[in-house]
Amino acid sequence: MAPEYGDGVSQARLGPALEGVRDECFLACKTMFRDAAGAAKDLATSLEALRTDYLDLYQMHSVTTKEDVDEIMGEGGALEVFKKAKADGVIKHIGFSAHDEEQALRLIETGEFETVLFPLNFMAHRTGGVGAAVLAAAQARGMGVLALKAYAKCRLKPADGVVAMDLAGTLGEVVGDASTVKHIPQKILSTYKKDFAVVCDPKYKCWYSPEDETEWAEYAPAFAAGAPWGSCRLLTPRVRRKLFRYSLGLGATSALAPGNAAMWEMGMKWVEGQSEVAAFDDADIPAMEARYKGLTPIFHKFDAYGNKVSHAGINQ
């Protein structure tokens, strides 16, 4: 949960649903504000909207730039609010989410955080080369690792989706009164629209193309071409299971589906009644790589010219 989602609408809807069952849930929330004043206000608003007096986990949301980290860790930065809130029992654990390996590693090295929420998915890890360093650093410190974008398939181009938040008419052009947005700092919001557009999937509203194929049951040659039919493996029609298992198999504590009701139900249907999730089968890797061949992962280390990039700097 984060107040950014729907600019407060999502948490306002979740609050009533938590009444009577709050202590049965592990409730995590985030803030986009890097300064103490903004983070304190966001925290108070979230507690009120979620109808609770504590959060199990509170996280710095979407840390992407060097400036983000500098402000969070500096005097008057958001970390001051987090640490005081933990001392007061308002939050139980401190974490962060990030979309850039370099900045994630900087935060991990401070020793101030207990969890890291980071993209650990098949395409970003195997094709984009993203995630291994963060995972290793976090595990070395005994941190909880939460895998973002477990169902992610590829990046969206502007022509393939819609611009998020209804704030942009054409790419790079801010229309309407952006100052009415309460839960995203204006300096961050302006980069969304000026420097790169946040393009969302028109069906699932996430800013990438998720895997939603439910009937993928191709016969994939597991051996050399020309092998007898009996030596071909039938891939089960639940590709998302494989993606989910892959993320967990990397060493993640938990893996998250897109914040969409239909996607969430897709994931929950196959974990209900299971005491544990079956391990990922490495024998499926060749077929999965073939399935996603030619697609651009939402996170990768280098652009077409070999320059290091984060998701914020990739031309969509």
Contacts of residue 175, Cβ cutoff 8 Å, sequence gap at least 6: 167, 168, 169
User: What is residue 192's predicted lDDT score, i.e. its pLDDT?
Assistant: 59
Q: What's the rounded Cα separation, in Å, for the pair 140 and 187?
A: 34
User: What is residue 168's predicted lDDT score, i.e. its pLDDT?
Assistant: 44
* Buried b / exposed e along 96-126 (16+ C-beta atoms within 10 A): bbbbbbbbbbbbbeeeebbbbbbbbbbbbbb
Rounded (5°) CA angle 209-114-108? 75
Backbone phi, psi, residue 132, to 5° = -60, -45
CA-CA-CA-CA torsion sign (184, 177, 205, 44): positive
Question: Does residue 167 lie in a domain region?
Answer: yes
Report yes or no: 152 and 211 within 8 Å, Cβ to Cβ.
yes
Question: Does residue 127 lie in a domain region?
Answer: no
Contacts of residue 60, Cβ cutoff 8 Å, sequence gap at least 6: 30, 31, 34, 68, 72, 78, 79, 82, 95, 96, 97, 107
DSSP 253: S
User: What is residue 178's predicted lDDT score, i.e. its pLDDT?
Assistant: 63
Q: Which residues of the chain have pLDDT under 70?
A: 158, 161-178, 190-198, 214-238, 267-277, 302-316
Q: What's the rounded Cα separation, in Å, for the pair 225 and 223?
A: 7
User: What is residue 196's predicted lDDT score, i.e. its pLDDT?
Assistant: 53
Q: What's the rounded Cα separation, in Å, for the pair 93 and 112?
A: 10
Q: What's the rounded Cα separation, in Å, for the pair 98 and 117?
A: 7
DSSP 279: P
Rounded (5°) CA angle 14-18-19? 125
For the chain, the residue count is 316
Q: What's the rounded Cα separation, in Å, for the pair 312 and 316?
A: 10
Question: Does residue 168 lie in a domain region?
Answer: yes
User: What is residue 8's predicted lDDT score, i.e. its pLDDT?
Assistant: 85
Question: Which residues form the domain of 169?
Answer: 157-200
Question: Does residue 25 lie in a domain region?
Answer: no
Measure CA 100 to chain center: 12
**CA atoms within a 13 Å half-sphere pointing along the CA-CB vector of 15:** 18
Q: What's the rounded Cα separation, in Å, for the pair 227 and 225?
A: 6
User: What is residue 316's predicted lDDT score, i.e. its pLDDT?
Assistant: 35
Q: What's the rounded Cα separation, in Å, for the pair 43 and 81?
A: 9
Domains of the chain: total: 1
> Where are the strands (E) in the chain, listed by range?
28-31, 55-63, 91-98, 115-119, 144-148, 152-154, 162-163, 199-200, 209-210, 219-220, 233-234, 254-255
The pTM of this model reads 0.82
Backbone phi, psi, residue 69, to 5° = -65, -45
User: What is residue 287's predicted lDDT score, i.e. its pLDDT?
Assistant: 87
Which tokens belong to 34?
């890097």
Question: Does residue 121 lie in a domain region?
Answer: no
Question: Does residue 179 lie in a domain region?
Answer: yes
User: What is residue 242's predicted lDDT score, i.e. its pLDDT?
Assistant: 84
Question: Does residue 275 lie in a domain region?
Answer: no
Question: Does residue 169 lie in a domain region?
Answer: yes
